[in-house]
Amino acid sequence: MNSLYGKDLITTQEWSVEEIERALELAFEFKEHRFDHPLRNCLDRRTFFMFFYNPSVRTRQSFEAAATELGGHAQFLEPKSMRLKSAKTAGETVQDAANVMSRYAVGIGIRILETAIEEYGQGDALLREYAQYASVPIVSMAHDRFHPCQGLADVMGMRQHAGRDLKGKKLLQVWGKGSLVRSWSSVQESILINTRLGMDVTLAYPEGYDLDPEVIQWAEDNASVAGGNFEIVHDLEEAYDGADFVYSRNWMTSGFYPYSKKHGIDRAKKKEIEMAMKHDDWITTKDWMAKTNDAYFIHCGPVDRGSEVTDEVCDGPRSIVYDIAENRLHVQKAIMALTMAHI
């Protein structure tokens, strides 16, 4: 019996470990048998809707390719070109849109990040409102709180290079300075799924870059249940010491949304960049990597080269960033097959 059929994916925290493992297992099968897997036509003549409130580098490409390789079609939608009700415009409600779209498609993906919302949590609330009224699965294609497809792709990449059993391996999730103002979604998904699967996760950042307290509590609880360790540090020497994987990523402060609401997005971004650039040491370099356990470098992309990480590390022999980017295709095929197809 397929327990995942019809299930939403807003964060992996809401899937069981068994369901996460099933998705990863199928993703590896899709990678090995990309064009000749028995499920290659499981979405034959079926449509997956993709709502892009924010643009992407690889999300649209990977989802469209995934649908095509399963025999279906992914339809690109921009809410700004649709007559949808919002706080500022009249139009169709989420209830009506979700019900109607459920008659057309087998799933709905939504991507909504910092520049499309006014305060933290609004994107997550929108996905959950669609999930309330839709009769087909809602999949997060990255929103302000979580990025589940990326979290699964990260795990798949680490397992490709270090084996399936990553329990006891140290993942360093480290803040990096950057000129791109980034949401918390990929980072929060990473600490959740990896503590869930038993890794030792160290979250490192300068003072003032705290994440969602609820997510931090979940990560602590996950580690306790899985027998791993979760810690927060603000010292780079301690952070890099003994790491098996290094994931350097910039993220914004919690002050971004209140400031942007008062002064506008552009001024808020400028302020965040100015603050970030004061932390010169917070960039993954060859010297920092030398303090690790010959760690692999991972990143969800797009990489802010020269700020989050040096080219020497990002393009080095221990970098697996392109493997992880490819894995978005495989894990999304697995998600779509398991939640949207009768298999």
Give residue 334's identity as a one-letter amino acid code. A
Residues 331 and 288 reside in one and the same domain: no
CATH number where 330 lies:
3.40.50.1370
**93 and 210 share one domain:** no
Same domain, 99 and 196: no
What's the domain range around 58? 12-146+325-340
Residues 96 and 215 in one domain: no
Tokens of 184: 């918390």
C-alpha–C-alpha distance, residues 309 and 158, integer Å: 18
* CA–CA gap between residue 186 and residue 341 (Å, rounded): 27
Tokens of 7: 């299930």
- Classify residue 1: in a domain, yes or no: no
Q: Could you give the CA distance from residue 160 to residue 122 in angstroms, rounded to a whole number?
A: 35
Amino acid at site 242 = G
Three-state DSSP class for residue 264: coil
Q: Give me the amino acid identity at 48.
A: F
What is the DSSP secondary structure assignment for residue 116, as one 8-state letter? G
Residues 156 and 174 in one domain: yes
Residue 5 domain-assigned? no
Residue length of the chain: 343
* Cα–Cα dist 243/300, whole Å: 18
Is 290 in the same domain as 219?
A: yes
126 and 219 together in one domain = no
Question: For the sheet containing 138-143, what is the strand order?
Answer: 73-77, 47-52, 107-112, 138-143
Task: Note down pLDDT in tens along the chain; length 343 residues.
Answer: 578 999 999 999 999 999 999 999 999 999 999 999 999 999 999 999 999 999 998 999 999 999 999 999 999 999 888 878 666 677 789 999 999 999 999 999 999 998 899 999 999 999 999 999 999 999 999 999 999 999 999 999 999 999 999 999 999 999 999 888 899 999 999 999 999 999 999 999 999 999 999 999 999 999 999 999 999 999 999 999 999 999 999 999 999 999 999 999 999 999 999 999 999 999 999 999 999 999 999 999 999 999 999 999 999 999 999 999 999 999 999 999 999 998 8
Whether residue 257 sits in one domain with residue 123:
no
Residue 2 falls within a domain, yes or no?
no
276 & 332 share domain: no
pLDDT for 85 equals 66
Global pTM exceeds 0.95:
yes
Cα torsion 40, 30, 19, 183: sign: negative
Is position 205 within any domain?
yes
Q: What pLDDT score was predicted for residue 115?
A: 87
φ and ψ of 303, to 5 deg: -80, 130
- Parallel/antiparallel/unpaired status of strands 138-143 and 200-204: unpaired
Closest by CA to 7, choosing from 155, 150, 148, 107, is: 107
One-letter amino acid for residue 68 of the chain: T
Cβ pair 331, 21 in contact under 8 A: no
Total tally of structural domains belonging to the chain: 2
> Is 166 in the same domain as 87?
no
Q: Is residue 288 part of a domain?
A: yes
**199 in the same domain as 133:** no
Instruction: Confirm whether 6 is domain-assigned.
Output: no
pLDDT given for residue 312 in this prediction:
98
Residue 54 lies in a domain: yes
Q: Do residues 168 and 308 share a domain? A: yes
Q: Sign of the CA dihedral 37, 39, 44, 46?
A: negative
In a domain, 248, yes or no: yes
